[in-house]
C-alpha cells in the first residue's frame, strides 16, 4: 500500500467525562474533564500538546456543541501551533482526519481532539422555561425545505429513507429492532451507559411511534458528556505510556453524493457511500478482516445503512444481516456497537464509537470485551449530515 498520511499517527490516549442525563454541569468543564482523562491515559501533560481539534465549535444553546477550541484553550492554555474546528468535515470524526494530516505535515506532535455535548441539560432547561426555546418565526438555509412542512426532526427525514428501504427490500421493524436490542444488551455491560435495563422485542414494538416506521427505541438518547483523545506522531508515541498505540489504517470522507436530506440518494443515507469507498480505497484490508464495528446509530436505520454501504452485506440486505441479532452480538461474526451505541449508551455525537474502539483494541473493555483479542475496528460517524469512516488497528 502507498505511503499514506494515516501511518504517521497513533492514538495514544482516550478519555471520557461523566456521562448522563441532565447532569446540569458546565459543558466546557465536561470537555476539560475528558481532555485531562485522555492526557492521563496517554501519560502526557498539557505541556506536551501542540495541537487542538474538535467537531463543531463554540458552545451552542441547543446543547449540540458543548465546547469549541477557544473554550478549551481558555482553560488549558496550550498555545497550539495548529488547531481546527467545524462541521463541514468528513463526519463527526473529520477532526481526526484533519489532525492526522497536520501531524503528517509536521505541524504538531501531539494533538488533543475532543467533543462535548449537553443536549439533555439544554433540553430540560428549555422545557422548564429556564431558557427560552429558540422558536424564531422563520427558518433559513437548508432547514427551509423541511421545517415549514412539519418535518422538524432527523427522525422524520430518516424515517423517509427507512420507509423506502422497507418498501424496496422488505426490511421490517423487527430487523431494525435487532439493532436496538443489541445496543441495550451491550449497554447493560457498560458502566457509563445511560440506559442499561433489559429491552425486549415486545418493549421495542409496543413503544410509542415517533415517525413511522421509527418508534421510540429507534431513536438515540440525548445526554451530557464529552470524549477526548490524543493523536500523536508515530515517532512521538514512545513518549507516552502506551506501549501499543492504535494505528489509523485508513480514513474515508469523500463526498460522492449531494449534501442534502432529500435530493439525491434514497436507498441509503446520503454521504455514507463516499466515506466507505474512499476508506476502502486506502487499505488492503477487506470487510472480512474487520473484527468489530462501531457504527453511528443516531437512529437504528443509520446503523443498518452503514452496514450496507461499508460492504458488510449487499445493499438491501442489512435487515436480514442483523435479524435475530446473533451476527452482531458480542460473540457474533461482527460485534456491533459494543458499548451500547448512542441508542442506549447516550448520544456523544459520534465520539463514543471512537472511544469504544480504542478501549476494545486495548483489551480494556471489561465485561463487554470482544473475545479473541480484536485487531481491526471500523468506525463510522454521521451520514445524512457529512459522513466519515475509519479503520483502526491494534498497534
Q: Does 137 bind another protein (CB under 8 A)?
A: yes
101: which 3 cell numbers? 494530516
**Residue 141 to residue 38: CA distance in whole angstroms:** 37
215: which 3 cell numbers? 418508534
Task: Give residues with Cβ within 8 angstroms of 379, minimum separation 6.
Answer: 93, 293, 294, 295, 353, 354, 357, 389, 390, 391, 392
Q: Does 208 bind another protein (CB under 8 A)?
A: yes
383: which 3 cell numbers? 451520514
Q: What is the phi/psi pair of residue 243, to 5°? A: -75, -20
User: Contact region for another protein (CB under 8 A) — 17-25, 53-61, 76-84, 149-157?
Assistant: 149-157
Instruction: With CA atoms as reference, report the closest residue to 4 among 277, 354, 282, 205.
Output: 282
Of 64 and 152, which CB lies nearer to another protein in the complex structure? 152
CB of 218 to another protein, least distance (A): 12
Q: Does 134 bind another protein (CB under 8 A)?
A: no
Three-state secondary structure call for residue 326 = coil
Of 130 and 244, which CB lies nearer to another protein in the complex structure? 130
CB of 108 to another protein, least distance (A): 37
CB of 304 to another protein, least distance (A): 15
> Which one of residues 77, 128, 132, 150 is an interface residue with another protein (CB under 8 A)?
150
CB of 211 to another protein, least distance (A): 5
> Which one of residues 26, 60, 156, 277 is an interface residue with another protein (CB under 8 A)?
156
CB of 183 to another protein, least distance (A): 21
Angle between helices 273-280 and 300-309 (to 10 degrees): 40
CB of 391 to another protein, least distance (A): 32
> Which one of residues 30, 159, 354, 365 is an interface residue with another protein (CB under 8 A)?
159
385-393 and 82-86 beta bridge pairing: unpaired
Which helix (H) or strand (E) segment is 249 a member of? Answer: strand 246-252
User: Contact region for another protein (CB under 8 A) — 159-167, 283-291, 313-321, 379-387?
Assistant: 159-167
User: Contact region for another protein (CB under 8 A) — 8-16, 180-188, 257-265, 370-378?
Assistant: 257-265
Q: Does 135 bind another protein (CB under 8 A)?
A: yes
Q: Does 205 bind another protein (CB under 8 A)?
A: no
130 burial type by CB count under 10 A (0-12 exposed, 13-18 middle, 19+ buried): exposed
User: Contact region for another protein (CB under 8 A) — 137-145, 271-279, 299-307, 341-349?
Assistant: 137-145
User: Contact region for another protein (CB under 8 A) — 155-163, 194-202, 299-307, 309-317?
Assistant: 155-163
**Residue 335 to residue 374: CA distance in whole angstroms:** 10
Instruction: With CA atoms as reference, report the closest residue to 286 among 332, 249, 316.
Output: 249
> Which one of residues 114, 118, 261, 321 is an interface residue with another protein (CB under 8 A)?
261
Of 298 and 335, which CB lies nearer to another protein in the complex structure? 298
CB of 343 to another protein, least distance (A): 17
CB of 269 to another protein, least distance (A): 13
113 - beta bridge partners? 53, 229
Instruction: Specify whether the CB–CB gap between 262 and 142 falls below 8 A.
Output: no
Q: Does 147 bind another protein (CB under 8 A)?
A: yes
User: Contact region for another protein (CB under 8 A) — 24-32, 88-96, 258-266, 331-339?
Assistant: 258-266
158: which 3 cell numbers? 430518516
> Which one of residues 1, 105, 205, 209 is an interface residue with another protein (CB under 8 A)?
209
**Residue 7 to residue 1: CA distance in whole angstroms:** 11
Measured over the CA atoms of residue 286, residue 291, residue 297 and residue 301, the dihedral's sign is: positive
114 - beta bridge partners? 54, 228
Q: What is the binding site for another protein (CB under 8 A)?
A: 135-140, 144-153, 155-157, 159-161, 163-164, 167, 208-214, 261-263, 266
Amino acid at each position: 500500500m502507498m505511503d499514506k498520511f494515516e501511518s504517521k499517527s497513533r492514538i495514544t490516549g482516550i478519555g471520557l467525562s461523566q456521562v448522563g442525563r441532565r447532569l446540569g454541569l458546565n459543558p466546557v468543564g465536561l470537555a476539560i474533564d475528558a481532555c485531562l482523562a485522555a492526557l492521563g491515559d496517554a501519560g502526557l501533560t498539557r505541556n506536551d500538546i501542540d495541537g487542538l481539534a474538535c467537531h463543531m465549535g463554540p458552545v451552542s444553546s441547543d446543547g449540540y456543541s458543548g465546547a469549541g477550541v477557544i473554550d478549551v484553550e481558555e482553560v488549558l492554555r496550550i498555545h497550539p501551533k495548529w488547531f481546527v474546528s467545524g462541521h463541514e468535515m468528513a463526519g463527526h470524526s473529520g477532526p481526526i482526519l484533519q489532525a492526522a494530516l497536520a501531524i503528517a505535515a509536521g505541524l504538531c506532535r501531539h494533538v488533543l481532539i475532543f467533543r462535548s455535548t449537553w443536549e439533555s441539560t439544554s433540553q430540560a432547561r428549555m422545557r422548564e422555561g429556564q431558557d427560552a426555546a429558540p422558536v424564531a418565526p422563520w427558518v433559513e438555509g437548508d432547514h427551509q425545505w423541511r421545517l415549514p412542512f412539519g418535518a422538524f426532526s432527523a427522525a422524520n427525514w430518516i424515517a423517509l429513507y427507512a420507509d423506502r428501504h422497507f418498501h424496496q427490500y422488505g426490511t421490517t421493524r423487527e430487523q431494525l429492532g435487532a439493532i436496538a436490542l443489541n445496543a441495550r444488551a451491550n449497554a447493560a455491560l457498560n458502566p457509563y451507559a445511560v440506559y442499561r435495563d433489559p429491552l425486549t422485542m415486545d418493549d421495542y414494538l409496543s413503544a410509542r411511534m415517533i415517525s413511522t416506521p421509527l418508534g421510540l427505541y429507534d431513536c438515540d438518547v440525548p445526554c451530557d458528556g464529552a470524549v477526548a483523545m490524543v493523536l500523536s506522531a508515530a515517532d512521538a508515541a514512545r513518549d507516552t505510556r502506551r506501549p501499543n498505540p492504535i494505528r489509523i489504517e485508513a480514513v474515508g470522507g469523500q463526498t460522492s453524493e449531494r449534501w442534502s436530506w432529500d435530493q439525491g440518494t434514497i436507498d441509503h443515507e446520503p454521504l455514507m457511500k463516499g466515506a466507505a469507498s474512499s476508506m476502502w480505497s486506502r487499505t488492503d484490508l477487506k470487510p472480512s478482516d474487520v473484527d468489530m464495528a462501531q457504527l453511528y446509530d443516531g437512529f437504528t436505520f443509520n446503523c443498518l445503512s452503514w452496514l450496507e454501504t461499508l460492504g458488510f452485506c449487499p445493499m438491501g440486505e442489512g435487515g436480514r444481516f442483523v435479524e435475530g441479532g446473533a451476527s452482531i452480538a458480542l460473540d457474533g461474526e461482527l460485534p456491533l456497537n459494543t458499548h451500547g451505541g448512542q441508542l442506549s449508551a447516550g448520544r456523544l455525537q459520534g465520539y463514543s464509537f471512537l472511544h469504544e474502539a480504542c478501549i476494545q483494541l486495548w483489551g480494556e473493555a471489561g465485561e463487554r470485551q470482544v473475545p479473541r483479542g480484536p485487531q481491526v475496528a471500523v468506525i463510522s460517524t454521521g451520514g445524512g449530515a457529512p459522513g466519515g469512516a475509519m479503520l483502526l488497528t491494534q498497534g
